[in-house]
Amino acid sequence: MGDRRETRQGQLRDRLSAQGLDGLLVQALPNIRYLTGFTGSSALLLVRASDAVLVTDFRYAAQAPREVGAAARVEIDQVNVWERLGRVIAERPGAALGFEAHVMTIRDRERLSSLPPARWEGIPDLVERLRQVKDEDEVAAIGAAAQLAQSALGEVLPTIRAGESEVAVAARLEAALRRGGSEWHPFQTIVASGPRSALPHARISDRTIERGEWLLLDFGAQVHGYCADLTRTCVVGARADERQRAVYEVVRQAQRRALDHIRAGQSGREADALAREVIARQGFGEAFGHSLGHGLGLEVHEAPRLSSTAESALPVGAVVTVEPGIYLPGWGGVRLEDDVYLGASGPVVLSDNRVELVELV
């Protein structure tokens, strides 16, 4: 992957300057990775007009310099990273510094008051707004993660049988993801059968999958830190009945309309309506209670949002999920989810969009 860290930091500095700030204290680990390449679990990053300083602890004394390279000066503290941050701030006393207001805890806000004098201002989502627009390497990583996830599903799907448990299916799917090279699971895998498929974020259980039931699989993969997020719904052990076919087809048509017509420049609300209108016309509007989708990147849920309340425009270069669903308590649910790059010339589906109704008989 190309090294774009200098460009990213430059974009951040331009935004800080426009807000009259001399620097930003970054605490969100995905943001730190985006700006420096550091993948550890603990760090503070101060980005200033002319430099960037990463402060971490002894666990990363070898790892941090190797990963960060010239993207930031690395400071290792054996005792207290906040005290070390104070020494860095003291190099330029009285600066106007921002902090990530959506990340910082009350305890950490108290720590700021013990640091050398600076003018602190809470700035939410500044790096996250930069992260919305993916470069070609980021898009490639998400696409590779989607391909990996699809391959794992292709390996596992033919082996699923009525009479086994949700957790057994999840174990095989997660093992296939890891064998295929997924760095980790970007979220808790969902395997929900029968009436439990009506729970949009069901936790895996030991429930036995019965013949003729829905099986909803929501899973992902991670490549170079970037996430893919897919959902497929199938019928296990029998042919789908008439109601199952009808509900499935409504969701499939809703997703198809959204994939065909979503564009950068639309508001998140307009994108959401593409699928929601299809579902509502068929009388299932109340059964589609979540948003159409979300951004993908170093986190599985990030900006932008595709929802009925999202007025912000979808930027060129975003990667988003398109995942309409219908959930009927006591009966079951259907969701279909694919990952889409919003290019200047139109959408590009990064996953395979193989959403024909699968009957595992």
Domains for the chain: give ranges and CATH numbers. 5-130 (3.40.350.10), 136-360 (3.90.230.10)
For residue 350, give both structure tokens: 């990064």
Cα distance between residue 327 and residue 198, in whole Å: 4
Low-confidence ranges of the chain (pLDDT < 70): 1-2
List C-alpha distances in Å: 280 to 53, 167, 224.
Answer: 52, 34, 39
Task: Round the CA-based radius of gyration of the chain to a whole number and report it.
Answer: 23
- Which run of H or of E encompasses 12? helix 5-18
Question: CA-based angle 347:223:74, to the nearest 5?
Answer: 115
- Residue recorded with tokens 């509502």: 280
Task: Kindly tell me the number of DSSP H helices and DSSP E strands found in the chain.
Answer: 10, 17
Give the percent of the chain with pLDDT over 70: 99
Write down the pLDDT at residue 1. 54
Write down the pLDDT at residue 215. 98
SS3 of residue 314 by DSSP:
coil
- Please state the φ and ψ torsions of residue 117, each to the nearest 5 degrees: -55, 130
Non-local (6+) Cβ contacts of 62 within 8 A are: none
Cα distance between residue 153 and residue 230, in whole Å: 10
Q: Are 275 and 292 in contact (CB under 8 A)?
A: yes
Nearest by Cα to 33 from 56, 17, 13, 14: 56
Strand order in the sheet with 358-360: 190-193, 213-223, 226-236, 358-360
Cα distance between residue 275 and residue 206, in whole Å: 33
Cα distance between residue 275 and residue 277, in whole Å: 6
Question: CA-based angle 297:299:301, to the nearest 5?
Answer: 95
- Please state the φ and ψ torsions of residue 230, each to the nearest 5 degrees: -130, 150
Q: Which amino acid is at 266?
A: Q
Cα distance between residue 325 and residue 251, in whole Å: 6
- Which run of H or of E encompasses 321? strand 319-322
